[in-house]
Amino acid sequence: MMSRWFSNMPRWTSATRLAFVLAVLWASAPGVAGDAPGWLHSLSAVPLPKYPDDPDVVRLFDERIITVKDSGEVKTLHRRAYKILRPQGRHHGTVVVSFDSETRLSNLKGWCIPAQGKDYEVKEKDALETGLSEELYSDERTKILTIPAAEPGSVIGYEYEQKERPYLLQNVWWFQDIHPVREAHLTLQLPSGWEYKAYWLNHPEKQPISLPNNQWRWDLADLPAVPQEPSMPPAAAVQGRLVVLFFPNADRQRAIGSWSDLAKWYGGLMVGRREASPEIKQKVMALTAGATTTLEKIRALVHFLQRDIRYVAIEIGIGGYQPHSAQEVFSKRYGDCKDKATLLSTMLREVGVESYYVVIHTRRGVAAPSHPPALGSFNHVILAIRLPADVSTGGLFAVQNHEHLGTLLYFDPTSSFTPLGYLPASLQANYGLLVTEQGGELLRLPLLPPSTNRLMRMGKLTLSPSGTLTGEVKEVRWGEPAVSRRAQLLEVQGPGRTKMLESFLATFLGGFTLTKAEVGNLEKYDENLMLDYNFVAENYAKRAGNLLLVRPRVLGQKSSDLLERKERKYPFEFSTASMETDTFEIALPPGYEVDELPPPVDVNYGFAAYRSKIEVSGGVLKYSRTYEVKDVFVSTAQLGELKKFYRQVMADEFTSAVLRRSSP
Amino acid sequence: MARRSVLPLYYLSWGILLGILLGGRPAYAGDDWLPISREDLAMTSHPASPGAHAIFLYREEETDDTASFTSYYYRIKIFTEEGKERANVEIPYLKQRVNVRDIKARVIRPDGTVVNFEGKPFDKTVVKGRGIKFLAKTFTLPDVQVGSIIEYKYKMEWDRRLLYDTRWIIPEDLFTLRTRFALRPYHGYLRLRWINVRIPEGKLAKEEKGLIHLELENIPAFQKEEYMPPENELKSRVDFFYTRSSEMDTDKFWKQEGKRMYEEVDKFVGHRKGIERAAAEMVSPHDPPETKLRKLYARVQQIRNLSYEHSKTEMEEKREKLKKAENVEEVLKHGYGYGGEITWLFLALARGAGFEAWPVLVSRRNRYFFNPNILDTRQVDDNVVLVHLNSQDLYLDPGTTHCPFGLLPWGETGVKGLRLEKDGGVFVTTPLPPSSASRIERKAHVELGEATALEGKLSVTFTGLEALRRRLTERDEDEAGQRKSLEDEIKSWLPVGSTVELQNAPDWAGTEEPLRAEFKIRMPNWANSVGRRLLFPVALFAGSKQRRFEHANRIYPVYFDFPFQTSDEVTLKLPTGFQVGSLPDARNRQTPFGQYEMSCQAQAGMLRLVRRLSSEGLLIPLQYYAGLRGFYETVRSGDDEQVVLQYAQVDQRN
């Protein structure tokens, strides 16, 4: 991943959390007695309205003053203040500010105006610094400043300055938050002869106040909180923000005003990176020596990239955006997403196959055609492979016809378990920036049809008169269900795989014993993943007088209670379109006959469908069902239908067949 | 490795923190790599660790306290793609205290060719500021493939004026084929002691020619399991500690140290007239002894307990001008103190009121179990008071906020402690409260509606350690947070989609009283409608507890925090038009692990469902795991038993 792409958004990596904990452990910031500045005092007396949902804090004030110099250097003063309303809001007293080798941080100060008593002040010298990040090598650092007395009732505030010479002349102002915001201000000061363009996202457009000396100010007030909901679009897709592009009007080409401009900028970083060294050429020859078709050659190279090039992120300076050269990645046998894409592209070229970088985000909705081009829109790089005419697209699903480039096959060399022809779920129906020699464009990647993501579970089972269920279940998975399960199985070692299966069975069965567990094709990523397991589950069916109650849906859960919690505000997203089928054949115990069966279920909405039925024939009860997700997006208008859908699925999953003893 | 200084205290804390950060990172000095066998090169898996991503072929840790350095050596065989992650190496260190040097690393391909690491390790900042600089030497090895062997070594050296304790922790997260540890001790005015913990007989660390060393083979990877004892109790290790004490005999050591600790406590507690007067004011001479003791207990619990306050910055502490108490009188006078000080104040007051009472230092079992053979007084890390009341010994800990009279927090129950006396004292064991002392009682009056929804009122009472645990966990929350916590817990007992609303204001601030909460509950899909019948499970609150011990095999014993009971009584009104078709048979299973009772009775359109479960065990040895699992399977099976209702007007074939 290219975390740098995302660096202007608030990040809470596990490493930052660790650093946060360390900061709290060292929370003995000496501080000094000192009055909080006037801007903070003026906020502390303002009465607050009653906010819904008991927020932990209210962001009272958010100010950003951006001063741009003719040289392109940008100085930004940040000021922020919170009122802490609940104990859970105490952590806002620990301020986390990121910087790196190209961003200078200065004048970090924090204050607290406690509910009672004198103000507190802490300064930059009181802060801790950490360089922990998700990446192995990164120059990204964080200052952590602990403000004293961050207790309910206190008002805390802080400010700092950042100086940078950004790669792109733009600024993204995230003015909305998961907490309510009382007021927010952005001031932009440009050198004479410069101008700007403003783009509002997830918020109505607002005109700035024009100030003297080429300055503008935008003021916002009373912004509602953005609640966190499960399976909602990413914050970047729903949170209000203002993207400001600025540029000298005499040199407009410095402005990244379109997606094509951004693609050109990125393309510039790639120049000279895809040169094949003699060793690479030799390796390509060796890898493709036995391949007779272009597709076989592509597969051989993809296999090499997925297996032999380890993911290691090295992001120092521009390295957050620019890949290492193919030679370097090849010789070290490691690299991050853009490095892997670079090497694969280089190797493909050696077999006469062109390919293009596709810069993308791993969450849908962060980039969209209606958005302005911004660096923070992306955090990942994959490839679009231009398929030669002799390559049939049969079995390749992540394909798209491009007006000028012909058939493009999207492939993510970083996703080790996603075979050629498929695309990781989060990249499907997502927008990516195709980078070509001419510039590029923002494209919507295809959503793979449900039939490409399959889970088929088939059980042949026998029920004893005492209620014990015995038998065998076979699972066949391909597409996303195979990728996710394969990743889980490969992550654990030895007995861990059996334990994983036991945990799965324990969700549905009582006292059970797993008597056999086999996994097929675990390391053959291009083939179906097969699971084959036997179990004995005592007391599966419940005796009730002369009845035996048995749940026909033995394993697997498709229903969800996500919509049974709080009222939702945002749309719902499935991870992928898929089709999952279960068939359980249960041989009934001798001397029992069916007394009552649950009715069949057949529900169909635009985004998903579910069918189930139970048949009895020759002493065998056969339960079969199909669960199909057709579209990953469920709009807010459809949430009622989704709730109903899940309830219908849940009712079917928990229903029982009633057997009656027919003979003494 | 956990290293502790025996020099000034501030060094001690850095040593521990450094030890935490260094946990499990092995290496070596010099440029000489150990030879690699053909077998190691050809190895594709190891039968003792089937399915492993990687194993340690060899690891070594050698400390020289005469020259102030430790050298580490690691050799790892990669078996799978996932195992390649081992090629990313981070060596954390505290820059002010430790220097990391001579880092060498290489990769040996399966064909035996070698790729040396030629790069420069990246100094990653872990934490920097206020005079602290924690860094991590970071590097990654090139060209690592499945089948490769990676190895690296380095040396960590520190100021020669410092001396750290050493701990060899034997199991790692990977299987280890062969390992070697060695320590060359410092010889001076300090004495070195060491103890082998769970090291097999015949393999114990031994001293030869001034070098203490340990060689072991085939060490299984350490794995985590649910309900396992503290990790420290499972990992074999050798602990070394330097001490000024020359006493090597266990009994004599504890006597000697007990005497010293008694003097320290006595200096703080003493026999103070002011305390006697205060005690007299707190109780009435006519009070029975237990009433007196309870009054004193309640009084000291009203003192502001600093141990449970939110951590404060230096600035806040300075501004608040809190004074350090030199003795119990000052704790009383200040009106605040840390938990341990409050407990000693209670000791003084109890004595002042005429009770026989002793200070007891106990070893909490949260992180490790007390071992008298480890001659380290830091094992006894908490304090309680032993009072002789009505010919009975009563252990009390008023320094733990919300802890009811007569109970100890669970970590202090059933543990060894040192009853301090002038002559050094004796070992005692604190009582383990019976399961009946810690209960969750649930009483519900619910009605099954015409659809399949069940709704009504639920009353939950938490007693003993169940109440204490919740009060301690939620003490920092506001009313909304406490409400949410309770409602979430109740929801976890009920089927998905259930709604729960707290109806009363539970006494979170209380101590002696149980924690009582009243709820309105609704389970929209409780009953399952099949034709003319309605089916539902007999247990209303089975929830996630059903999934205990889902795995057939286990590595470690099962460990519960404390014995407990749950008791459920549900009155369920049947829907109009339905009558009982069948009810499950009553169950009663009593085992050494606990008891499970379930019964269901119908009367006049009502069902009465009763369920009781007790857990009696604390540490269940591995050989009884199958029995324990069987017991919980019985519970789950019983909870799943179905009540069958049917329309009253249909024929009664059933």
pLDDT tens for residues A531-556? 999 999 999 999 898 899 999 999 99
Question: Could you give the residue range(s) of every CATH 2.60.120.1130 domain in chain A?
Answer: 451-661
A659 closest CA partner among A599, A588, A600:
A588
Name the H helices within B179-308: 250-269, 273-282, 289-301
**Which residues, numbered 338 to 397 in chain B, qualify as contacts with chain A under a Cβ-Cβ cut-off of 8 Å?**
none
Q: Which residue of B has its CA nearest to A501?
A: B551
pLDDT value of residue A286: 97
Give the pLDDT band (50/70/90) at residue B29. very low
> What domains can be seen in chain B, in order of their start residue?
9-243 (2.60.40.3140), 251-432 (3.10.620.30), 436-647 (2.60.120.1130)
Q: Nearest by CB to A136, which of B138, B312, B531?
A: B138
* CATH code reported for the domain at A31-255: 2.60.40.3140
pTM for the predicted model, two decimal places:
0.89
Q: At residue A137, does pLDDT exceed 80?
A: no
Q: What is A126-150 written as a DSSP string?
A: G-EEE---SSSEE--EEEEEEPTT-
pLDDT tens, position by position, A111-126: 999 998 899 999 998 8
Cβ contact, residue pair A334, B142, below 8 Å: yes
pLDDT tens, position by position, B428-448: 999 999 999 999 999 999 999
Q: At residue B573, does pLDDT exceed 50?
A: yes
By the CB < 8 Å criterion, does B232 face chain A?
no
Of A167-171, A185-189, B408-412, minimum mean pLDDT range: A167-171
Per-residue pLDDT averaged across B382-394, rounded? Answer: 95
- Tell me the three state secondary structure of residue B410: helix
Per-residue pLDDT averaged across A42-71, rounded? Answer: 93
How many CB pairs (< 8 A) connect A and B? Answer: 208
Cβ contact, residue pair B129, A539, below 8 Å: no
Name the H helices within A377-494: 480-491
Q: Which residues of B touch A513 (CB under 8 A)?
A: 552
**B282 CA to chain A: closest CA distance, Å?**
33
Cβ-Cβ contacts under 8 Å for A609 (sequence gap 6 or more): A603, A626, A627, A628, A630
**What integer best gives the mean pLDDT of chain B?**
90
Q: At residue B520, does pLDDT exceed 60?
A: yes
**B422 CA to chain A: closest CA distance, Å?**
38
- Tell me the three state secondary structure of residue B334: helix
Cβ contact, residue pair A333, B80, below 8 Å: no
Cβ contact, residue pair B140, A136, below 8 Å: yes
Q: Which residue of B has its CA nearest to A515?
A: B552
Q: Which residues of A touch B496 (CB under 8 A)?
A: 561, 564, 650
A112 closest CA partner among A160, A57, A158, A155:
A155
Instruction: Please write down the long-range contacts of A47-50, taking CB distance under 8 Å and 24 or more positions apart.
Output: A48/A83, A48/A182
Q: Which residue of B has its CA nearest to A660?
A: B654
By the CB < 8 Å criterion, does B550 face chain A?
yes
By the CB < 8 Å criterion, does B535 face chain A?
yes
**What integer best gives the mean pLDDT of chain A?**
91
By the CB < 8 Å criterion, does B8 face chain A?
no
pLDDT tens, position by position, A254-312: 778 889 999 999 999 999 999 999 999 999 999 999 999 999 999 999 999 999 999 99
Cβ-Cβ contacts under 8 Å for A53 (sequence gap 6 or more): A225, A227
Cβ contact, residue pair B654, A30, below 8 Å: no
Q: What DSSP state is assigned to residue A395? A: T
> Considering only the top CATH level, what class is A451-661?
mainly beta
Query: Which site among A542, A546, A548 would you substitute to test the B interface, given the most B Cβ atoms closer than 10 Å to its Cβ?
Result: A542
Alpha-carbon B244 to chain mean position: 31
Give the pLDDT band (50/70/90) at residue B400. very high
Element (H, E) at A474: strand A469-478
pLDDT value of residue B31: 58
pLDDT value of residue A34: 64
Q: At residue A16, does pLDDT exceed 60?
A: no
When computed from its CA atoms, the radius of gyration of chain A, rounded to whole angstroms, is 29
**A245 CA to chain B: closest CA distance, Å?**
34
Was domain A260-448 assigned CATH 3.10.620.30?
A: yes
pLDDT value of residue A17: 47
Question: Could you give the residue range(s) of every CATH 3.10.620.30 domain in chain A?
Answer: 260-448
Q: At residue B332, does pLDDT exceed 80?
A: yes
Per-residue pLDDT averaged across A79-88, rounded? Answer: 96
Q: At residue A494, does pLDDT exceed 50?
A: yes
pLDDT tens, position by position, B100-138: 999 999 999 999 999 999 989 988 888 888 777 888 999
Element (H, E) at B429: strand B426-429
Q: Which residues of B touch A304 (CB under 8 A)?
A: none
By the CB < 8 Å criterion, does B315 face chain A?
yes
Do residues A397 and A422 lie in contact, with contact meaning Cβ atoms separated by under 8 Å? yes
pLDDT tens, position by position, A628-661: 999 999 999 999 999 999 999 999 999 999 999 9
Give the pLDDT band (50/70/90) at residue B360. very high
Between A153 and B271, the more confident residue is A153
Do residues B641 and B584 lie in contact, with contact meaning Cβ atoms separated by under 8 Å? yes
B609 closest CA partner among B469, B406, B397, B458:
B458
Per-residue pLDDT averaged across A231-236, rounded? Answer: 92
Q: At residue B246, does pLDDT exceed 80?
A: no
pLDDT value of residue A7: 31
Percent of chain A, pLDDT > 90?
Answer: 80
**Which residues, numbered 235 to 274 in chain B, qualify as contacts with chain A under a Cβ-Cβ cut-off of 8 Å?**
none
Q: Which residues of B touch A122 (CB under 8 A)?
A: 315
Give the pLDDT band (50/70/90) at residue B649. low
By the CB < 8 Å criterion, does B503 face chain A?
no
Handedness of CA A280, A285, A288, A294 (dihedral sign): positive
Q: How far apart are CA A383 and CA B577, in angstroms?
A: 65
Query: Which site among A549, A593, A621 would you substitute to test the B interface, given the most B Cβ atoms closer than 10 Å to its Cβ?
Result: A549
Q: Nearest by CB to A310, which of B144, B551, B636?
A: B144
